[in-house]
Amino acid sequence: MYDNDKPLFDFMCESLYSAVISDTLDELGYRHQVMREDLTPLSADWVIAGRAKTMLSVDVHHLPEDPYAQEIAAVDSIRPGEIVIGCTNRSRQNGLWGELLSTASQARGARGAVVDGLIRDSKKILELDFPVFATGTKPVDSRGRGLVIEYDVPVLCGDVLVHPGDVIFGDRDGVVVIPAAVVDEVVRLATDKVTRENHTRDELKAGRTLREVYDKYGVL
């Protein structure tokens, strides 16, 4: 599942976009695969595609004896081509993600991170050019505020259930979750729709009416 993913993910980043993937999932009956609109990239130029590496964090109000144990284990187990999916249950007190986790993840071959919560060190993350999507920033450490309790388990991120190995696609418009079982079909159908959209655009520019080109190509 992972060894030959890079060409696929590179193609998706170069040729597809979140809206056409969402439309394709709709057509296949998967109508609730787009994360909440407040999950946005630090840089609008970033586009990500990769396998979900899930991490579950909860708020705490004490200093655990080993506060980073599961967090470290999760990051150290990242495989090339994965995207970290950090679920904080929409915490407002926990800055789960920062520069050092981004650096470690990037070194292990991760393609980005999506954090349903707050992050810090945004300037350093931008300098790393490691794509991170989050709901906001806050310069607090997770120690004594949040605790990673599990990883590689299903999590609810951005109101979408994400399973380990699902394919994540994100750009400036949002983040879409593609169930692992339908990745190939989604990419094939989305690519076909992009082609039809390109033809539609060209004919609209040439003066054809929207009704004419919609009846011909069936996209809008």
Give the number of other Cβ atoms within 10 Å of residue 152's Cβ: 15
CA–CA distance, 99 with 79 (Å, rounded to integer): 19
Instruction: Report how far apart, in Å, the C-alpha atoms of 114 and of each of 101, 189, 204 are.
Output: 12, 25, 36
Query: For residues 82 and 53, is the Cβ–Cβ distance under 8 A?
Result: yes
Give the number of other Cβ atoms within 10 Å of residue 25's Cβ: 23
Whether residue 121 is annotated as binding a ligand: the answer is yes
Whether residue 101 is annotated as binding a ligand: the answer is yes
Whether residue 3 is annotated as binding a ligand: the answer is no
Q: Which residues pair with 147 in a beta bridge?
A: 58
Residue positions forming the annotated binding site for Mg(2+): 121
Binding-site positions read 98-101, 120-121
| Binding site listing for substrate | 98-101, 120
